[in-house]
Structure 1
């Protein structure tokens, strides 16, 4: 094992141990921050309950508010000694209704409404939109979905300054609600000016993950990556799949993204709701085959906005996402504005713990591509799984430079706890999204004997190790500076 002279970063919380691994599911939990969990006390409770990554939704609030939330997240993480990641979710070109003439408006089936230019509707049947080119770009026959798809219209006529739509599925609409236009050919950019400003803020504030909404092609992802990299930012880009065009280019999008989110909210409006389950399985499968982390999101425990217990269907939905192969499940309004944010996280964690053992019986064996990882590293990780099984090892410890080794290890889906160590806190926070990987700060990653002693002591304190247990270490030597080429089996003394 290398004894390079580079010094390791000391732990921000010496002497403090993380929660016992037995109390946290291997599937990671992403929780959205909002008024319901804004305080440091609530953030701490959510971390203890099982949150690994916090999501900041840029559709709400401003930079100052986000900066305050970020500082509180980092403070809560440091106080209890559990590394958590932060995901900044770019709102994307979300098209919304303007202010209604009559708010709310009940749209009766068969009624005619007119989309007009400008911001000030002059009659109850006039609708305006935040996307200035909508009137120009809609065509006869296009579908228009309002209020998360609860109200549907079809374009039946068009003149220069207005588009006439007939209500197909009636319901109530309100000002500023979202508009979805499945199948319509629009020129709107995937990265808006507001998104670019928020991405620059993320780059300046050491954010770990940045997600891009309404991705339609690999180019959208690459543009965001270039913007972040131009600022020296190494945040991972998460592509949100919520457009039919994204499904057409799924393989290519997954290939260029660092991770993917199955954003079922808008996706469920853009495609037939009957196809959502199949689309989810297809997206997750593609991410597994390419070795990319994947988050399943939207309405996972939706009823817990107002109830302490989820519906049986919601519990089953979370379990099925885990069995599909999701690396993480996301809570949105449940933690942001719900009445029971801690209970929602605890419930999702309990479902994960109850579900994950079934993965053993399923013989989860997806062949994972590793084009972006050194082939020596990939071979060592594959060998780790064999050695762990033959020796009955109690722990796998991975010393990683950029997170790639831990990402491959997480895709093996075995049930030997994996500890990720690094001398970079930024890298440790990336590991928070990887299934079954626990980031551990403060480990002397460049000193083999010291690292083994550190893990022996830590493992005993956690109740994970005792004398005679085997621990497998994956690390590297200076012989191959870009590869993790060393696998060491250690027996606890």
Structure 2
């Protein structure tokens, strides 16, 4: 059974052995994430190369997602590596304090405009919300706080403001250099950390394009301000990543599940891709099996309609990276057997503006109401398979393209299996026959199966899909 939900897995020290990356692909990895918050540019370039070479050796199409670090909003380091903050104690975050001189009374920060972004009464959350500070007053470079919830605070932990309000720009100078690297390695997706408005997304797209990049832009939803501007951000993006870690700290953990569902619904309505991320199987950093709660989390994301689920530290630094991908694969497959994952009323009442979109919707309606074993979408840009992937269905979509970059981009589309395919002819009858033979070789169809084929009259034209055919394997009519 072809798994429809895609798996994004982060590469890191635990996967640097090429044999491990190969095993990740065998286990079900669809998109390799390169987290530029850690490691050098050279390390990431090498990881992308190895992932693509391993995928090619297996006849697989695997995408590469470059995830930008974004602004560093962190405390500095402590002289002793960490301190224990007691409830009720005074603790100062000082932008003019040495970044390596932290004590139990005071610490520096990488975020130099913190004093301008807070007022007395503001709540600062450190280390993913484990420690809570209330601002009592601001004196010059010093933000003087009272410890509300104490605990062990170690080097370089993140700072969030409850409810949002930190004004850091989404793109830093380091991100601008990383964008050039992403373009050089032909990254299929570029993820922007902490966007708060559509302009942040558009700036990243412009910089990526100017550097020669052609991949899609992923907006990571992790700020309270992003929720306030969510529709404009979704419209400006190609992909939305629901990054539940920082988001939960800013808006409260209980608010995240309904927000996750709402964003996925909105993105599907607007024909955008979604990735559900953060702590999906975090216990597998140490353990060989996920918890029951983690299994339910992944399954619910699938039933929500997410295009992809993501592993972070589980594969980057975890003890069981291959087992984590295999576990996620297993959970997705079972969740996809449920009726709500295979039936959809999406866009049934909409008037379509483009012929290729109308063909995509007609194809999915037909596939869901006829005994069809597979859909073959011959595509240049990936637009028609994207529209198809918005409709819940149990029928696999094989997107055949001559463009390797289009194939890698489609590796993130739910329900779409990208296949690099060049028939070497413009004869429609031969193209039909060779496309079906490609699926037969893959074991996806056999004699007597019904297959839907979509394509354009003119080969090589982007956005030119205008034809839908229903054919029977081994009994193909002339085009």
TM over 0.5: yes
Instruction: Indicate the SS of the match to 2:136.
Output: strand
Partner of 2:104: 124
**Deviation at residue 390 of structure 1 after TM alignment:** 4.3
Residue matched to 2:397? 418
The alignment's TM-score, normalised by the length of structure 1, stands at: 0.91
Q: Does 1:487 align with 2:468?
A: yes
Q: 1:185 to 1:388 in 2, by over 3 A?
A: closer
After the TM superposition, which residues 145-164 of structure 1 pair with which residues of structure 2 at under 5 Å, given as runs? 145-164=125-144
Q: Contact 1:57–1:90 (CA<8 Å) still a contact in 2? A: yes
Moved more, 262-271 or 436-445: 436-445
Question: Which residue of the partner structure matches residue 257 of structure 2?
Answer: 277
Work out the number of aligned pairs and report it: 470
Question: C-alpha distance in 1, partners of 2:341/2:4?
Answer: 16
Answer yes or no: is 1:343 the counterpart of 2:323.
yes
**Distance across 2 between alignment mates of 1:332 and 1:258:** 21
Deviations 1:257-305 (A, max 9, x none): 0010000011111111111111111111111111111000000011111
> Do 2:381 and 2:463's aligned partners in 1 also have CA atoms closer than 8 Å?
no
Which runs of 5 or more structure 1 residues have no equivalent in the other structure? 1-21
Q: Which stretches in structure 2 are left out of the alignment for 5+ residues? A: 475-479
Q: Deviations over 1:121-163 (max 9, x none)?
A: 4753011100122234322111111111100101011212311
Residue of structure 1 equivalent to 2:93: 115
1:228 aligns with 2:208: yes
Between 475-484 and 234-243, report the one with greater CA deviation. 475-484
- Separation in 1, partners of 2:149, 2:170: 28
Q: Does 1:39 align with 2:11?
A: no
RMSD: 2.0
* Mapping for residues 244-283 of structure 1, pairs under 5 Å: 244-283=224-263
Cα distance in structure 2, aligned partners of 1:86 and 1:180: 29
**Bigger shift: 473-482 or 91-100?**
473-482
CA contact (8 A) 2:446 2:473 kept: yes
Indicate how the Cα distance of structure 1 residues 77 and 167 shifts in structure 2: closer, same or farther if over 3 A, else same. same
Q: Residues 134 and 481 from structure 1, CA distance in 2 versus in 1: closer, same or farther, beyond 3 angstroms?
A: closer
- Structure number with higher relative contact order (C-alpha < 8 Å, ≥ 6 residues apart): 1
> How many angstroms does 1:215 deviate by?
1.0
Aligned to 1:333: 313
The question of 1:408 aligning with 2:387 is answered yes
Which residue of the partner structure matches residue 431 of structure 2?
A: 451
Correspondence 1:167-182 to 2 at 5 A: 167-182=147-162
Query: Could you give the per-residue CA deviations for residues 153-180 of structure 1, whole angstroms, max 9, x where no partner exists?
Result: 0101121231111111111110111111
Contact 2:396 2:415 in 1 (8 A): yes
| Alpha-carbon separation, structure 1, partners of 2:365 and 2:390 | 14
Deviates further, 184-193 or 59-68: 184-193
Q: 1:477 matched to which residue of 2?
A: 457
- The answer as to whether partners of 2:102 and 2:108 remain within 8 angstroms in 1 is no
Of 302, 316, 320, which residue of structure 2 is paired with 1:322? Answer: 302
Please report how far the alpha carbon of residue 74 of structure 1 lies from its aligned counterpart in structure 2 after TM superposition. Answer: 1.2
Which deviates the most, 93-102 or 328-337? 93-102
